[in-house]
Structure 1
Amino acid sequence: MDFRHLGSSGLIVSRIAYGNWLTRSSSTGEETELACVRAALDAGITTFDTADVYADTRAEEALGRALKGERRESLEILTKVFAPVGPGRNDQGLSRKHIRESIDNSLRRLGTDHVDVYQAHRFDPSTPLEETMEALADVVHCGKAHYIGVSEWTADQIRRGHALARELKVSLVSNQPQYSALWRVPEVEVMPACEELGVGQIVWSPLAQGVLTGKYPPGGQRPEGSRATEANDGSAELSAWLTDDVLGRVRQLRPIAAEAGLTVAQLSLAWVLQNPGVCAAVVGASRPEQITDNAKAADVELDGDVMDRIDAVLGPVAHRDPAATAAMNPPSPDWRLA
């Protein structure tokens, strides 16, 4: 396993991070989750990413049980706050009330007294940014998190949040955007802003919901048990990629991967990690062997010719519109009242 500092901070993370966001009773059960976490540890992965909302809070609980007994100082545990975790109006968002309550609940579920990075899962236009950043700073100052991060914030939001964090004497060290060879949206505005500020990228969906593993044939049946056949596990997000044009182009990656001695998934992960701003790529798994195989991409370096060939194949169907980042956040300040 290869490692890198997270942005300009002193925190070191594994280039492949394990994410358990797809833990669901309909897909990944507790026994499989334990096996996947064990495979991650065996592969040298030390960075584990989750969120309070994943699997209706059960993902944090499962991760906590899976990591029980491991040396806490040898792990980097990241979780997030924002999405609804209850029926109340204040069970969501980035208010002081919700942040202070959520960190305590997350720590209880994870079975630890602190997380390494506490992340704002989305931007909350219904709460003054000053209130949000002050609450996140309080979490750090009272020892419940070492650093703070954000996910799917725009470049302007990251700049404003970073400036407030510096005033409050806390470190905003990470951004967690969607990023893959098919989703290159952050390259336009977000990544340049983060590079300037010393904010590292811990990217999610580096395999485009599994499309960049090459397992989905163009015009063919969806593999049994795959995410494309499970409505609760991301098939809606997959729909944009499940076209014959996209899937046919992904098939063209096979000879490129074979020449490099890699699987298509390993090639796709190596492409993501080649971006100097990407500190870690978050991968999930429904089987432990997937983690073992994907972890091998951590120390792969692709030469310029291979990168050019990948871009030539996937570039015409890659998403790049920076407006897509803003679209992932609530559209107006009254979103919680709707």
Structure 2
Amino acid sequence: MTEDSAEVPGKEHVAPQQLDTPWVPALDRYRAPGAVYRRCGRSGLDLPALSLGLWHNFGDDRPLAVQREILRTAFDLGITHFDLANNYGVPYGSAESNFGHHLAHDFRAHRDELVISTKAGYDMWAGPYGAGGGGRKYLLSSLDQSLARLGLDHVDIFYSHRFDATTPVEETVVALDQAVRSGRALYAGISSYGPEQTREAAVIARELHLPLVVHQPRYSLLDRTVEERLMGTCGDLGLGMAVFSPLAQGLLTEKYLGGEAPQGSRMRQERYLHHDALTPERLGHLRALADVAHSRGQSLAQMSLQWLLRDPRVTTVLVGASSAEQLADSVRALQGAEFSEEELASIDSHSRAAAL
């Protein structure tokens, strides 16, 4: 998962001290709709059923005031897990830097209530040592840079962001182990590894007594590849799953059901979602899925999120948000009625037919 690292012209930077309005989190946040927690595999770590992913909307191309409102809303709703990576934001690293500002201003006193994760694996800085992958020098140097941007001495989870076929898995896992043993991370994770690669990493981690506790794969109604073998592998190994892109970059929302890409959408901008994905056949199945959702009193997005959580091997679903209202709407997925067998059969049929 990478983004354009170019500087954004005309960006109005707001100094952190301008965000100095005192804030007190909701006292009833652990009774809020998002305060639903699941154990991460066979570890001792609990994560909220919905976590906030900062892949989009937290770079220097987005107002700090809007970011602040989203983060405050998340915490007030009971969401305690914030997921980042070294290259998130425009330009690269800006999501971590901006989150560090908000952390220092709003959340410093609540650090022990938060799970903060970051990753390294994709290109990040110039030269061979910043080109990404799973090498020890790149991973540990990147983690040090991430901690500096975040203003932290440790993160809760540090991920290898992708499998690197050019580096031995053992080297990658040993680097994760050093990150934990040095106190720079509490737990380790892997992302976008295949079943065999996952098993190899887990075996090495077990030999090292490394708390490798979570796998982060792509999973949605339109991309069910993980069901073939990876979910079973994670279940066997006792790894939790933190799934990303749960709404297929927006296809599993209502915005495309009219057959057009609205202004400002990722499809209109050709960012991670292309026009050729909206075929007449797929559009028909998406509309059928929306009909199922509406019959349940849900939006297509809410039903899509709830459907992912039907499997206990999914620890948490990473949701993005461009506004506090959108995040609150996503959290309502946790209040949906249980799926009937008929609904599950219909969802299964249409989701497979519409697969990307």
Question: What is the TM-score when the length of structure 2 is the normalising length?
Answer: 0.84
- Check whether the contact 1:212–1:268 (CA below 8 A) recurs between aligned residues: yes
1:283 corresponds to 2:319: yes
1:131 corresponds to 2:171: yes
Distance 1:170 1:299 in 2: 36
- Check whether the contact 1:7–1:200 (CA below 8 A) recurs between aligned residues: yes
**Secondary structure at 2:241 match in 1:** strand
Flag the 1:43–1:109 CA change in 2: closer, same or farther, 3 A. Answer: same
1:200 corresponds to 2:240: yes
Distance 2:97 2:83 in 1: 13
1:95 corresponds to 2:135: yes
Distance 2:122 2:257 in 1: 34
- Check whether the contact 1:218–1:244 (CA below 8 A) recurs between aligned residues: no
For residues 126-176 of structure 1, the C-alpha deviation after alignment (integer angstroms, 9 at most, x for no partner) is 222221111110100111111111111000000000000011111111111
Q: Report the alpha carbon displacement of residue 217 of structure 1 after superposing the two structures with TM.
A: 2.8
Residues 220-259 of structure 1 correspond to what in structure 2 (within 5 A)? 220=260, 222-231=261-270, 233-235=271-273, 238-239=274-275, 241-259=277-295
Q: CA RMSD in A?
A: 1.7
1:7 corresponds to 2:41: yes
**Secondary structure at 2:249 match in 1:** coil
For residues 69-102 of structure 1, the C-alpha deviation after alignment (integer angstroms, 9 at most, x for no partner) is 3211101111101111111101122211111111
- Check whether the contact 1:218–1:243 (CA below 8 A) recurs between aligned residues: no
- Check whether the contact 1:52–1:60 (CA below 8 A) recurs between aligned residues: yes
- Check whether the contact 1:165–1:171 (CA below 8 A) recurs between aligned residues: yes
Distance 2:158 2:311 in 1: 24
Residues 98-247 of structure 1 correspond to what in structure 2 (within 5 A)? 98-220=138-260, 222-231=261-270, 233-235=271-273, 238-239=274-275, 241-247=277-283
Flag the 1:104–1:115 CA change in 2: closer, same or farther, 3 A. Answer: same
1:29 corresponds to 2:63: yes
- Check whether the contact 1:183–1:318 (CA below 8 A) recurs between aligned residues: yes
**Secondary structure at 2:330 match in 1:** helix
Of stretches 148-157 and 252-261 in structure 1, the one that deviates more from structure 2 is 252-261
Q: Report the alpha carbon displacement of residue 240 of structure 1 after superposing the two structures with TM.
A: 5.5
The code of the aligned residue for 1:188 comes to E
Of stretches 38-47 and 238-247 in structure 1, the one that deviates more from structure 2 is 238-247
Q: Report the alpha carbon displacement of residue 247 of structure 1 after superposing the two structures with TM.
A: 2.1
Distance 1:310 1:135 in 2: 41
- Check whether the contact 2:290–2:299 (CA below 8 A) recurs between aligned residues: yes
- Check whether the contact 1:216–1:223 (CA below 8 A) recurs between aligned residues: yes
Distance 1:46 1:25 in 2: 20
For residues 283-321 of structure 1, the C-alpha deviation after alignment (integer angstroms, 9 at most, x for no partner) is 1111211101101213533233221121122222225xx
Distance 2:66 2:339 in 1: 32
1:295 corresponds to 2:338: no
Match of 1:310 among 344, 347, 355: 347
Distance 1:137 1:103 in 2: 13
**Secondary structure at 2:189 match in 1:** strand
Flag the 1:195–1:174 CA change in 2: closer, same or farther, 3 A. Answer: same
Distance 1:84 1:225 in 2: 27
Of stretches 29-38 and 6-15 in structure 1, the one that deviates more from structure 2 is 29-38
Distance 2:127 2:95 in 1: 21
Match of 2:94 among 58, 66, 70: 58
Q: Report the alpha carbon displacement of residue 200 of structure 1 after superposing the two structures with TM.
A: 1.0
- Check whether the contact 2:320–2:327 (CA below 8 A) recurs between aligned residues: yes
Q: Which residue of 2 aligns with 1:324?
A: none
1:83 corresponds to 2:122: yes
Distance 2:211 2:341 in 1: 34
* Regions of 4+ moved over 4 Å: 24-27
- Between the two proteins, the alignment pairs up a number of residues equal to 315
Considering Cα pairs closer than 8 Å and 6+ residues apart, tell me whether 1 or 2 has the greater RCO. 1
Distance 1:82 1:192 in 2: 25
Over the matched positions of the two proteins, sequence identity in percent amounts to 39
**Secondary structure at 1:223 match in 2:** coil
The code of the aligned residue for 2:347 comes to I
Question: What is the TM-score when the length of structure 1 is the normalising length?
Answer: 0.89
Flag the 1:244–1:63 CA change in 2: closer, same or farther, 3 A. Answer: farther
- Check whether the contact 2:220–2:248 (CA below 8 A) recurs between aligned residues: yes
Unaligned runs of 5+ in 1: 320-338
Match of 1:262 among 298, 309, 323: 298
